Chain A
Amino acid sequence: GAVVSQHPSWVICKSGTSVKIECRSLDFQATTMFWYRQFPKQSLMLMATSNEGSKATYEQGVEKDKFLINHASLTLSTLTVTSAHPEDSSFYICSATAGAQSGYTFGSGTRLTVV
Protein backbone atom coordinates (compact mmCIF):
# COMPACT_ATOMS: atom_id res chain seq x y z
CA GLY A 1 0.00 0.00 0.00
CA ALA A 2 0.88 3.67 -0.23
CA VAL A 3 3.39 4.84 2.34
CA VAL A 4 4.19 8.36 3.49
CA SER A 5 7.25 8.98 5.58
CA GLN A 6 7.31 12.01 7.82
CA HIS A 7 10.26 13.11 9.91
CA PRO A 8 11.38 13.98 12.36
CA SER A 9 8.80 12.27 14.54
CA TRP A 10 9.57 14.69 17.31
CA VAL A 11 11.69 17.79 17.70
CA ILE A 12 12.47 20.24 20.46
CA CYS A 13 13.77 23.63 19.47
CA LYS A 14 14.52 26.94 21.09
CA SER A 15 12.24 29.90 20.67
CA GLY A 16 13.24 31.98 17.66
CA THR A 17 14.78 29.16 15.67
CA SER A 18 13.35 27.47 12.58
CA VAL A 19 12.38 23.85 12.17
CA LYS A 20 11.89 21.89 8.96
CA ILE A 21 9.57 18.90 8.70
CA GLU A 22 9.74 16.57 5.71
CA CYS A 23 6.98 14.54 4.15
CA ARG A 24 7.84 11.95 1.52
CA SER A 25 5.64 9.64 -0.50
CA LEU A 26 7.76 6.52 -0.78
CA ASP A 27 5.99 4.45 -3.39
CA PHE A 28 3.76 6.80 -5.33
CA GLN A 29 3.81 10.23 -6.86
CA ALA A 30 1.79 12.68 -4.83
CA THR A 31 0.20 15.36 -6.93
CA THR A 32 -1.08 17.04 -3.79
CA MET A 33 0.15 17.15 -0.24
CA PHE A 34 -1.65 18.59 2.75
CA TRP A 35 -0.33 19.87 6.05
CA TYR A 36 -2.41 19.66 9.19
CA ARG A 37 -2.00 20.82 12.74
CA GLN A 38 -3.54 18.96 15.64
CA PHE A 39 -3.86 20.25 19.18
CA PRO A 40 -4.15 17.75 22.04
CA LYS A 41 -7.42 15.85 21.97
CA GLN A 42 -8.67 17.86 19.02
CA SER A 43 -9.28 17.24 15.37
CA LEU A 44 -6.98 17.94 12.46
CA MET A 45 -7.00 21.47 11.17
CA LEU A 46 -5.89 21.92 7.58
CA MET A 47 -3.11 24.47 7.31
CA ALA A 48 -2.28 24.38 3.62
CA THR A 49 -2.50 22.47 0.39
CA SER A 50 0.54 22.11 -1.80
CA ASN A 51 0.81 20.98 -5.37
CA GLU A 52 4.09 20.04 -6.94
CA GLY A 53 5.78 22.98 -8.59
CA SER A 54 3.34 25.63 -7.47
CA LYS A 55 2.82 27.80 -4.45
CA ALA A 56 0.96 26.38 -1.52
CA THR A 57 -2.59 27.46 -0.81
CA TYR A 58 -2.99 28.43 2.82
CA GLU A 59 -6.16 28.21 4.83
CA GLN A 60 -7.61 31.34 6.34
CA GLY A 61 -5.77 32.40 9.47
CA VAL A 62 -2.56 30.50 8.70
CA GLU A 63 0.47 32.75 8.42
CA LYS A 64 2.23 31.88 5.19
CA ASP A 65 5.39 33.68 6.25
CA LYS A 66 5.61 31.64 9.42
CA PHE A 67 4.74 28.27 7.94
CA LEU A 68 6.74 27.95 4.73
CA ILE A 69 5.74 25.08 2.49
CA ASN A 70 7.78 23.77 -0.39
CA HIS A 71 6.68 21.02 -2.74
CA ALA A 72 9.63 20.71 -5.05
CA SER A 73 8.96 17.22 -6.36
CA LEU A 74 6.14 14.72 -6.66
CA THR A 75 7.47 12.83 -3.66
CA LEU A 76 8.60 15.52 -1.24
CA SER A 77 6.99 18.39 0.59
CA THR A 78 8.51 20.32 3.45
CA LEU A 79 7.01 22.51 6.14
CA THR A 80 9.32 25.01 7.80
CA VAL A 81 8.18 26.68 10.97
CA THR A 82 10.11 29.93 11.04
CA SER A 83 11.00 31.86 14.18
CA ALA A 84 9.19 29.31 16.26
CA HIS A 85 7.49 30.31 19.49
CA PRO A 86 5.99 28.20 22.26
CA GLU A 87 2.50 28.69 20.84
CA ASP A 88 3.66 26.87 17.70
CA SER A 89 4.14 23.73 19.76
CA SER A 90 1.78 21.16 18.32
CA PHE A 91 1.46 17.92 16.42
CA TYR A 92 1.91 18.41 12.68
CA ILE A 93 0.72 15.78 10.21
CA CYS A 94 1.13 15.60 6.46
CA SER A 95 -1.00 13.76 3.95
CA ALA A 96 -0.36 12.88 0.34
CA THR A 97 -2.61 11.90 -2.51
CA ALA A 98 -2.39 11.10 -6.19
CA GLY A 99 -6.01 12.16 -6.53
CA ALA A 100 -8.96 11.68 -4.20
CA GLN A 101 -10.04 8.42 -5.75
CA SER A 102 -6.61 6.95 -5.09
CA GLY A 103 -6.96 7.79 -1.42
CA TYR A 104 -5.08 9.86 1.08
CA THR A 105 -2.10 8.56 2.99
CA PHE A 106 -0.97 10.19 6.20
CA GLY A 107 2.45 10.51 7.71
CA SER A 108 3.03 9.46 11.30
CA GLY A 109 3.18 13.06 12.49
CA THR A 110 5.77 15.34 14.07
CA ARG A 111 5.56 16.49 17.65
CA LEU A 112 7.08 19.98 17.83
CA THR A 113 7.93 21.47 21.18
CA VAL A 114 9.28 25.00 21.32
CA VAL A 115 11.00 25.96 24.55
Chain B
Amino acid sequence: AQSVTQPDIHITVSEGASLELRCNYSYGATPYLFWYVQSPGQGLQLLLKYFSGDTLVQGIKGFEAEFKRSQSSFNLRKPSVHWSDAAEYFCAVGASSSGDKLTFGTGTRLAVRP
Protein backbone atom coordinates (compact mmCIF):
# COMPACT_ATOMS: atom_id res chain seq x y z
CA ALA B 1 0.00 0.00 0.00
CA GLN B 2 1.13 3.51 -0.70
CA SER B 3 2.02 5.84 2.14
CA VAL B 4 3.23 9.39 2.60
CA THR B 5 5.39 10.82 5.35
CA GLN B 6 5.71 14.48 6.17
CA PRO B 7 8.27 14.49 8.97
CA ASP B 8 7.78 18.12 9.98
CA ILE B 9 4.55 18.76 11.84
CA HIS B 10 5.18 22.45 12.31
CA ILE B 11 7.64 24.87 10.71
CA THR B 12 8.18 28.56 11.37
CA VAL B 13 10.12 30.74 8.95
CA SER B 14 10.69 34.46 8.69
CA GLU B 15 9.03 36.36 5.91
CA GLY B 16 11.37 36.53 2.96
CA ALA B 17 13.28 33.42 3.98
CA SER B 18 13.41 30.30 1.86
CA LEU B 19 11.24 27.31 2.60
CA GLU B 20 11.49 23.58 2.10
CA LEU B 21 8.78 21.17 3.21
CA ARG B 22 9.69 17.53 3.16
CA CYS B 23 7.66 14.68 1.75
CA ASN B 24 8.64 11.03 1.43
CA TYR B 25 6.48 8.40 -0.16
CA SER B 26 6.38 4.65 -0.25
CA TYR B 27 5.20 3.00 -3.42
CA GLY B 28 6.48 0.33 -5.75
CA ALA B 29 6.10 2.14 -9.04
CA THR B 30 6.16 5.79 -9.98
CA PRO B 31 3.20 7.36 -8.26
CA TYR B 32 1.35 10.55 -8.96
CA LEU B 33 2.51 13.18 -6.48
CA PHE B 34 0.74 16.30 -5.33
CA TRP B 35 1.13 19.21 -2.98
CA TYR B 36 -1.96 20.92 -1.63
CA VAL B 37 -2.41 23.92 0.65
CA GLN B 38 -5.27 24.37 3.09
CA SER B 39 -6.26 27.52 4.94
CA PRO B 40 -8.28 27.10 8.17
CA GLY B 41 -11.82 25.92 7.55
CA GLN B 42 -11.27 25.68 3.81
CA GLY B 43 -10.88 23.00 1.22
CA LEU B 44 -7.62 22.10 -0.47
CA GLN B 45 -5.97 24.06 -3.24
CA LEU B 46 -3.58 22.33 -5.61
CA LEU B 47 -0.10 23.86 -5.65
CA LEU B 48 1.52 21.48 -8.12
CA LYS B 49 1.57 17.90 -9.31
CA TYR B 50 3.95 15.39 -10.85
CA PHE B 51 3.04 12.52 -13.13
CA SER B 52 6.09 12.02 -15.31
CA GLY B 53 8.72 13.89 -17.26
CA ASP B 54 10.73 16.78 -15.87
CA THR B 55 11.39 16.05 -12.22
CA LEU B 56 11.36 19.72 -11.26
CA VAL B 57 7.78 20.91 -11.21
CA GLN B 58 6.66 24.51 -11.07
CA GLY B 59 3.45 25.39 -9.33
CA ILE B 60 1.34 28.34 -8.37
CA LYS B 61 2.30 31.08 -5.92
CA GLY B 62 6.00 30.64 -6.65
CA PHE B 63 6.23 27.09 -5.32
CA GLU B 64 8.22 24.29 -6.92
CA ALA B 65 8.89 20.67 -6.05
CA GLU B 66 11.46 18.15 -7.14
CA PHE B 67 10.79 14.46 -7.59
CA LYS B 68 13.77 12.37 -6.53
CA ARG B 69 13.16 8.71 -7.23
CA SER B 70 16.33 7.57 -5.49
CA GLN B 71 15.21 9.23 -2.28
CA SER B 72 11.48 8.61 -2.70
CA SER B 73 11.00 12.27 -2.02
CA PHE B 74 8.95 15.13 -3.40
CA ASN B 75 9.98 18.16 -1.37
CA LEU B 76 8.23 21.49 -1.78
CA ARG B 77 10.28 24.67 -1.99
CA LYS B 78 9.79 28.39 -2.20
CA PRO B 79 12.68 30.85 -2.41
CA SER B 80 11.00 33.68 -0.50
CA VAL B 81 8.05 33.14 1.81
CA HIS B 82 5.24 35.67 2.14
CA TRP B 83 3.07 36.12 5.22
CA SER B 84 0.09 34.88 3.19
CA ASP B 85 1.78 31.49 2.79
CA ALA B 86 0.97 30.60 6.39
CA ALA B 87 -1.29 27.55 6.12
CA GLU B 88 -1.33 23.77 6.29
CA TYR B 89 0.48 21.92 3.52
CA PHE B 90 -0.31 18.38 2.49
CA CYS B 91 1.65 16.05 0.28
CA ALA B 92 -0.38 13.33 -1.41
CA VAL B 93 0.34 10.27 -3.51
CA GLY B 94 -1.94 8.46 -5.91
CA ALA B 95 -1.70 5.70 -8.44
CA SER B 96 -3.90 4.22 -11.11
CA SER B 97 -3.38 0.78 -9.61
CA SER B 98 -5.09 1.95 -6.41
CA GLY B 99 -8.16 3.21 -8.19
CA ASP B 100 -6.78 6.73 -8.36
CA LYS B 101 -7.23 7.14 -4.61
CA LEU B 102 -5.07 9.74 -2.96
CA THR B 103 -3.21 9.05 0.24
CA PHE B 104 -2.34 12.14 2.25
CA GLY B 105 0.52 12.87 4.54
CA THR B 106 -0.17 14.19 8.01
CA GLY B 107 0.47 17.74 6.94
CA THR B 108 2.93 20.48 7.85
CA ARG B 109 1.69 23.65 9.46
CA LEU B 110 3.64 26.66 8.27
CA ALA B 111 3.85 29.78 10.38
CA VAL B 112 5.48 32.92 8.99
CA ARG B 113 7.27 35.27 11.32
CA PRO B 114 7.03 38.98 10.40
Contact = CB atoms under 8 A, between A and B. Distances in A.
Interface residues of A, number: 26
A107 B43 CA distance: 6
Nearest to A44: B104
A32 B101 CA distance: 9
A106 B100 contact: no
B99 interface: yes
Contacts of A34: 101-102
A42 B106 contact: yes
A104 B43 contact: no
28 contacts: A34-B101, A42-B107, A43-B106, A43-B107, A44-B44, A44-B90, A44-B104, A46-B102, A49-B99, A91-B41, A95-B44, A95-B102, A97-B100, A99-B100, A100-B32, A100-B51, A100-B94, A101-B51, A104-B34, A104-B94, A104-B102, A106-B36, A106-B44, A106-B45, A107-B43, A109-B41, A109-B42, A109-B43
Contacts of B41: 91, 109, 111
Given A34-B102, A46-B102, A100-B32, A106 B43 contact: yes
B96 interface: yes
A15 interface: no
